[in-house]
Structure formats: C-alpha cells, structure tokens
Structure 1
Amino acid sequence: MAALDVDGVLNPDGDGINERVRALRMSAYERHQYDGPGPDGEPVSGYVLVNPDHGMWLRGLLAARVDVVWATSWGEVANSFLGPLLNLPRLPVVGVGPYSGLVWGRSAKRGPVGTYVAGRPLLWLDDQLGGKDLAWAEQRTAAGVPTLLIRIDPAFGLTPDDQACAEEWLARLPAWGVA
C-alpha cells in the first residue's frame, strides 16, 4: 500500500518551483486555482501546483496493483479536486484529520495511517515525518511487515529520485514473500 500526502508532496512550496525542478529534469508544475473547503471545513482560496508527471506515475502504481490511498488533511477534496487534474480514479482516504504536523518527533498522521494499513506493507510518502516514525518503520520491517517512509522535500515535491526509491522498494516485496 502507498499512503500519499498532498501538501509538500504533490503540491510543493510554490515560489520558484519550476526553476528548482528544471535541474531535476522534471516537467513544469501547473498552477490551478482552488476555491472550496479547507481541512477544517472553512472556505479557502488559493492556488495548487500540480505536476502531470505525478499522475502518470501514480496511475502506473495502480496498474501494477499497488493500493494507493490519500493520507492527507485534504480528505475527500483530494479526490474531487486533485484526482481529475492527475487523471486518477477515486482513491480511498485515510482519515487523518485537519492537522498533520509533527508532535514530539512523530507524525500526527501515524496513528490513523498505522491503523488503516494494519499488517500490510506500507510505502508512505510525506514531507512531515519525524525520527520516531522512522524507528516505527524499522520495527515494522523487522517484524516482517515491510515499511518504507520517504520524506519528501517540500521545496521540490515528489521527485524522480523519490519515485525511483519507491519503485525499487516495491520491486523487492516479492522477495519478502509479499505479492
């Protein structure tokens, strides 16, 4: 299973993003206006940066039978707003609540994500992962439940190197006896 955050991962920090990613040979981000409910239900208005290459990569994961879920404070808005922009089907949503920062070295999302994934292998892509989350991933892997957390740099968003790391890890799952 791949758990996917939005802000910082698919929607990077905006100022100068296309200049930064050009060096990584990434396609340019497209700017889209969003007017609707925020994570707390209150109206928000602003722009969202979306890279169409991310949609292609995520569709490739889905075609390879990887369960992809939203693990973001965006909740269902990820499906209604980002899904069409990335040409994605409706994805399951892990209810992580309206806030998703770090608390004492641990992602506020870890409880909901851990409960949702239960004993399944986990690839988690997020920009806010703490040291305790990495230790948790190591403990899960040592217990026979392969787990990889990839901390995404929010200044770049999801990069080809992040994608390659995820793909290499996913390719090793059969060697761990996981189909």
Structure 2
Amino acid sequence: MANPPTPPIPLAARPVLFLDVDGPLIPFGSAQGYPVYESPGAPTEADGHPLLSRLDPALGPRLAGLPCELVWATTWMDDANACLAPRLGLPDLPVADWPEPSAEDLRSGTHWKTAGLVAWAAGRAFVWVDDEIGDADRRWVSAHHPGPALLHRVDPRIGLGDGDFAALESWLRARAG
C-alpha cells in the first residue's frame, strides 16, 4: 500500500531558500569550459547579460520542486525576476534586501549578505545557496539565528548540480517532516 501524498506545507512554515545567481546558477566555467544553453523565446545574448547563455533552464523546475520558499539573494536584485525567472520558468520571487555591511561584519570576516539574510529569515529555517560562503558565515549564523540553517556552498566553476540538489532536498525534506 502506497503512502498517501504529503500535504503541502503552509508557505509561512516552509523553509526559505536564499538563492545567489553568479556562481550557483551562472557558472564561471573551468579550464574545460562550461555548457551553453538555448532558451526558446528568451532574449538573445545581445538583449541582455552576456553570461545568460550559461543559465541551464532545467534548473527552474528542479528549484520549484524543492519544499521551500525561493528568494533571490543576489546583486541582480529585481533584475533576477526580469531576466532569470522567465528563462527558468519560475514566477517572480521575493528579493532579499540587506543593509550595507557594518564595521562588525567587516571585522568578523562574514560575507556582506550574512546578517541581512538572517534578519530576512526572522527565525525561520533557511538554506543559503552561494559560492562565497565561508566558515565565518557559518559561525555567525550559528550564533545569531535561532532556527535551523544550511549554508550550502556551490562550486562556482560548475554551478548547481545533482549533488547540490541531493543535499538541498534532503535537508529541506527533513525540515518538512
């Protein structure tokens, strides 16, 4: 007998997944290069960012299938919804905003996004997917965030891959019960 389907998790109870763009979604490439993708109906390279051809449209459905609330956490800000979401088949997503880094942020060695993302999460469980996460960020989040958090560093040469999705899905499903 099959298990009944899991009911959807109310949005407010779902973990947040903060998603960086440059590195995780748009890889910088390696000595072997990087794949180039065509996006039917999307603007051409001449119409936008010269690296958009590196954005794999198959990532959109994979991200949308994760049991979380997706939030852009990128310097692309609102341009992520205008340029990236249509290529990925995603709806407009919330965009995390953060204050300028404080002197304490700079002294602690944390990423300039760290404190702002913790404030945005407001105690909710969250995942932060970025290529610039370090040990100082993990220590700071552990000391300042009351809920569970996964800071997942992606190799910027190759971007989000199967191993990353396996880790994200496992962590998120564990939080979903």
> One fold, TM greater than 0.5?
yes
Q: State the Cα distance separating 1:47 from its structure 2 match.
A: 2.5
- Structure 2 Cα separation of the partners of residues 34 and 7 of structure 1: 19
2:48 pairs with 1:33 = no
Match of 1:71 in 2: 73
* TM-score normalised by length of structure 2: 0.75
| Residues 77-117 of structure 1: CA deviation (Å, up to 9, x unaligned) | 00000000000000000124799xx9553111112211111
Structure with more contact order per residue of length (Cα contacts < 8 Å, sep ≥ 6): 2
25, 28, 36: which one aligns with 1:13: 28
List alignment gaps of at least 5 residues for structure 1. Answer: 19-28, 37-44
Alignment length (residue pairs): 150
AA partner of residue 7 (structure 1): D
Change in 2 beyond 3 A, CA 1:56/1:129:
same
AA partner of residue 11 (structure 1): I
Match of 1:105 in 2: 109
AA partner of residue 17 (structure 1): Y
Match of 2:142 in 1: 138
AA partner of residue 166 (structure 2): A
AA partner of residue 80 (structure 1): A
Contact 1:4 1:71 in 2 (8 A): yes
Match of 1:166 in 2: 168
Which has the larger Rg?
Answer: 2
Change in 2 beyond 3 A, CA 1:174/1:89:
closer
- Structure 1 Cα separation of the partners of residues 121 and 46 of structure 2: 30
17, 23, 32: which one aligns with 1:2: 17
Change in 2 beyond 3 A, CA 1:3/1:117:
same
- Structure 2 Cα separation of the partners of residues 34 and 97 of structure 1: 33
Contact 2:23 2:131 in 1 (8 A): yes
- C-alpha root-mean-square deviation of aligned residues, in Å? 2.5
- Structure 2 Cα separation of the partners of residues 97 and 82 of structure 1: 24
| Residues 30-84 of structure 1: CA deviation (Å, up to 9, x unaligned) | 1652656xxxxxxxx52221112211111212xx3x1110000000000000000
2:53 pairs with 1:51 = no
- Structure 2 Cα separation of the partners of residues 57 and 167 of structure 1: 10
Change in 2 beyond 3 A, CA 1:35/1:98:
farther
Identity %: 37
| Larger proportion of strand | 1
- Structure 1 Cα separation of the partners of residues 79 and 100 of structure 2: 12
